[in-house]
A and B are shown apart, each in its own frame.
Chain A
Amino acid sequence: MSYTDKFGRPLVAVTGMGVVTSLGQGKRDNWAALTGGRSGIRSIKRFPVDHLATTIAGLVDFLPESEQGATALTLALAELAAEEAIDESGLSLSNFGGPLFLAAPPVELDWRNRLALYARSERSGDWRSLIETARKTANRAYFDEGQFANIANRLADKYGTRGLPVTLSTACASGATAIQLGIEAIRRGECDRALAIGADGSATAEALIRFSLLSALSTQNERPEKASKPFSKDRDGFVLAEGSAALVLEPLESARSRGAKVLAIMRGCGEKADDFHRTRSKPDGSPAAGAVRAALADAGMAEEEVAYINAHGTSTPENDKMEHLSLSTVFGERMRTIPISSNKSMIGHTLSAAGAVEAVFSIMTMREGVIPPTINYDNPDPAIDLDVVPNVKREADVPTVLSNSFGFGGQNTCLVMAREPG
């Protein structure tokens, strides 16, 4: 058996996976819901929704940290996913011994803490009173909340990852970028294991408002479970969501030699930035198409070898149209018959976590031989001629998957995964 790919680089195996979404905690619950076509989108209860245009989200509301702000929840989500993944890999939970790549949302001092500090301050009418109170209060938890290094630092402490952990953001492609950094580190021979995590618990009122102001969110609040409808004609925006996923990556050779179960192979990754606009894609879809092609080239795979596409599929008018265009550019006529589905129809858009969450679901799709559906596909967009695996799961032999992640700021990252080393 060969442990290297056709370019002579070490093959990268996935030996552990963990996931949390609004559908539940852990792979088993998520998979049951996902293949059952269940939605995790609900009316928001966590904070008041007065004055908000969008009042639905895919929140993770079942954790003790769910009410403790974006940083606490993002950390908890990352931990749960990491524990499930490391546990499955059979590696040490306290001395992981490889680098950590964390995709996480940008952080800020939470409003409730900002307000609490100000209430305690002596003056009003100037930011100086807030800073002065902050200094005197010296509340370590408040400080941590505003430090971008904090979550990864805590994870590194807990799991004993090696070296300086990388926290990254490529917006909605972040989760895929975390995996890509892990793949590259292993190919460079820097490590014999890496932990890639995408985690996002930042669905605060302000986050919702910011995306609303950009007209990015669905306002179909009446039936929350029906709001996320990728590739449908009446789609009107994405549904903000929370979640996390973790993957343990190893050179195939060391995974085999320690007798670990190999869940899948990370065959390739590709990226291409878009210089057109801050939130819109180049009209010809060439950057996204470029990312797909780069991922296939990196995987050493021909277009014909892609058996299934895990779509970025956000349910915004713009994304789904552009994703269709760019995929059609790459795959041509065959694109009409390649099954493609969007997990976001059920879990919403988990932002920084999405690329990692969807990589886990992609690997489960290959392993289980079942493609999760695109739900809410009741009113197809005639301009998007795709086999979206409408509404009901499908049994299929899926040896390979292409997973797309596109984000604001011109971010396009694609992953190519395979069931077997090939």
Chain B
Amino acid sequence: MSSTDVVITGIGIASSLGLGTDAHWQALQGSPAPKLDRERFAPYVIHPLPEIDWSVQIPRRGDQRQMETWQRLGTYTAGLALDDAGLKGDEELCATMDMIVAAGGGERDTAVDQAILDASLARNDHGVLLNEKLTTELRPTLFLAQLSNLLAGNISIVHKVTGSSRTFMGEDGAGVAAIETAAARIRAGQSTHCLVGAAFQTEHPDMLLAYELAAYLQRGEWSPVWQRREELGGGIITGSGAAFLVLESREHAEKRGRKAYAAIGPILSGRARREGSGLKDALGEMLDVLAGRAAPALAISGASGAHAATRAEKAALDAYGNMAVRGFNTVTGHLKEAQFPFAVALAALAIHNAKAYPPFDAENERPLEDAPKAVLATSVGYHCYEGMGLIVEA
């Protein structure tokens, strides 16, 4: 135990399952059923956002209007995390709080884009067409509502987190790097407290398009993440969701009398060559290192369902026969940048409640009765980059 151990003192999560830690913990007891929308983006099934009263965390309507849903979702969930950590409205601690957000891009204006696509079929001067339509039809502030670093920007504006603001980009891997970097900075004394997390809103055609450009999505029907079928496509079913964590040094948390959910142990990340058994071997090596520290009884897996990556991860995890695995994308859908933050949040809740989740897919996941002392959290990018970490008792 050391004063610079990294502890989790605040958790904000949002997904189709609900809003906040309690809603998720409750929803995941018994035999959790996924909440699905099969119609709106058919043939794609998605896990949609629940109804959210944005004003709970973003009181000013003007601020809400300046954001697209993805930014609102992230800003809202960051607020949940700050509330949970007892830091919301603490001007002094927010002004010195660091922030790392993992973000993708925002939401384009579908109507404007479609108008351009349709008009393009009837004319050849596409460059001029773009200028004509974009100069007249784009909402001026939409750019800011799309810009990757403006999720962090909005968190600064709404919640006054201003110690620093960094945005990492790069799908699932960005979420790993965000938490890894935040934890490393705290451990090294470069930071005392940090808000870290991500949001992904899948309910936009461009978000689905980005996956389908390489045919990564499953079409037509839903199935648990370990049971995705090659004949239905690439295996990913997406969801909207977000996860933000407040990380602090043990000393910082103790000084202000906060109890922690859990502590962040070692985090490993990499960029394995994915040909052959490259990914499985790399994940196996990471597991060997982590399990050497504290053998985790439970794994919260961020497997995406993408066939090759998910097979490799399953094989690597199965090699540790004593570990019960929970593939949370079965119940949330793939949350892209938010995958690893969400996995860490679920892992921390299991430590905090001294209880494992029931299987999310009874055919592929076995029950675990014992209270987990160490939980593995993984995020293996559907296309590249992977990471995992140990979440342990604080």
A residues near B, CB below 8 A? Answer: 47-53, 104, 106-109, 111-112, 114-115, 118-119, 124-128, 130-131, 134-135, 138-140, 142-143, 145-149, 152-153, 156, 163-171, 177, 181, 184, 187-188, 190, 205-206, 209-214, 271-279, 287, 407-411
- A111 CA to B208 CA in the complex, in Å? 17
- A214 CA to B96 CA in the complex, in Å? 30
Of the candidate stretches B139-147, B295-303, B314-322, the one touching chain A is B139-147
Contact of A408 among B114, B153, B161 (CB under 8 A): B153
A51–B208 CB distance below 8 A: no
Contact of B66 among A212, A271, A278 (CB under 8 A): A278
B110–A127 CB distance below 8 A: yes
Expressed in whole angstroms, the minimum distance between the Cβ of B306 and any Cβ of chain A is 13
- A276 CA to B209 CA in the complex, in Å? 35
- A149 CA to B172 CA in the complex, in Å? 9
B131–A272 CB distance below 8 A: no
Please list 7 pairs of residues, one from A and one from B, whose beta carbons are closer than 8 Å in the complex, sorted by A's number. Answer: A48-B128, A106-B105, A115-B126, A147-B210, A167-B168, A273-B162, A287-B162
A408–B144 CB distance below 8 A: yes
B170–A167 CB distance below 8 A: yes
Expressed in whole angstroms, the minimum distance between the Cβ of B350 and any Cβ of chain A is 25
Chain A, residue nearest B184 (CB): A188
Interface string of B190-225 (1 = CB under 8 A from A): 100000000000000110111011110100000000
Contact of B383 among A52, A130, A147 (CB under 8 A): A147
Interface string of B232-273 (1 = CB under 8 A from A): 010000000000000000000000000000000000011100
Chain B, residue nearest A216 (CB): B143
Contact of B190 among A164, A184, A210 (CB under 8 A): A184
Expressed in whole angstroms, the minimum distance between the Cβ of B65 and any Cβ of chain A is 12
B128–A51 CB distance below 8 A: yes
Chain A residues whose C-beta falls within 8 Å of the C-beta of B215 in the assembled complex = 135, 138
Interface string of B100-127 (1 = CB under 8 A from A): 0001110010100110111011000111
- A274 CA to B161 CA in the complex, in Å? 9
Chain B, residue nearest A106 (CB): B148
Given A148-B169, A170-B166, answer yes or no on A124-B149 (Cβ-Cβ < 8 Å).
no
B355 lies within 8 A of chain A by Cβ: no
A279–B214 CB distance below 8 A: no
Of the candidate stretches B28-36, B48-56, B174-182, B358-366, the one touching chain A is B174-182
- A181 CA to B190 CA in the complex, in Å? 11
- A48 CA to B118 CA in the complex, in Å? 20
- Give the most central of B99, B160, B271: most A CB within 10 Å: B271
B residues near A, CB below 8 A? Answer: 66, 99, 103-105, 108, 110, 113-114, 116-118, 120-121, 125-128, 130-132, 134-136, 138, 140-144, 146-150, 152-154, 156-157, 160-171, 173-174, 176-177, 180-181, 184-185, 188, 190, 205-206, 208-210, 212-215, 217, 233, 269-271, 381, 383-387
Chain A, residue nearest B152 (CB): A409
B143–A214 CB distance below 8 A: yes
Expressed in whole angstroms, the minimum distance between the Cβ of A142 and any Cβ of chain B is 5
- Give the most central of B154, B174, B210, B384: most A CB within 10 Å: B210
Chain B, residue nearest A190 (CB): B184
Expressed in whole angstroms, the minimum distance between the Cβ of A113 and any Cβ of chain B is 9
Expressed in whole angstroms, the minimum distance between the Cβ of B26 and any Cβ of chain A is 34
Chain A, residue nearest B209 (CB): A131
7 nearest A-B residue pairs (beta carbon): A409-B153, A149-B170, A127-B205, A143-B213, A143-B214, A273-B165, A148-B169
Expressed in whole angstroms, the minimum distance between the Cβ of A148 and any Cβ of chain B is 4
- A168 CA to B144 CA in the complex, in Å? 17
Expressed in whole angstroms, the minimum distance between the Cβ of B110 and any Cβ of chain A is 6
- A156 CA to B173 CA in the complex, in Å? 14
Chain B residues whose C-beta falls within 8 Å of the C-beta of A112 in the assembled complex = 126
Chain A residues whose C-beta falls within 8 Å of the C-beta of B125 in the assembled complex = 48
A104–B169 CB distance below 8 A: yes
Expressed in whole angstroms, the minimum distance between the Cβ of B315 and any Cβ of chain A is 21
Chain A residues whose C-beta falls within 8 Å of the C-beta of B136 in the assembled complex = 51
A278–B387 CB distance below 8 A: no
Contact of A272 among B128, B164, B166, B213 (CB under 8 A): B164
Expressed in whole angstroms, the minimum distance between the Cβ of A338 and any Cβ of chain B is 25
Expressed in whole angstroms, the minimum distance between the Cβ of A90 and any Cβ of chain B is 25
Chain B residues whose C-beta falls within 8 Å of the C-beta of A47 in the assembled complex = 127
- A140 CA to B177 CA in the complex, in Å? 25
B126–A271 CB distance below 8 A: no
Chain A residues whose C-beta falls within 8 Å of the C-beta of B383 in the assembled complex = 147, 149
- A147 CA to B207 CA in the complex, in Å? 11
A109–B213 CB distance below 8 A: yes
Contact of A124 among B66, B117, B169 (CB under 8 A): B117
Chain A residues whose C-beta falls within 8 Å of the C-beta of B386 in the assembled complex = 164
Contact of A149 among B163, B165, B212, B381 (CB under 8 A): B381
A118–B117 CB distance below 8 A: yes
A278–B131 CB distance below 8 A: no
Chain B residues whose C-beta falls within 8 Å of the C-beta of A166 in the assembled complex = 168, 170, 174, 177, 181
B271–A163 CB distance below 8 A: yes
- A145 CA to B209 CA in the complex, in Å? 12
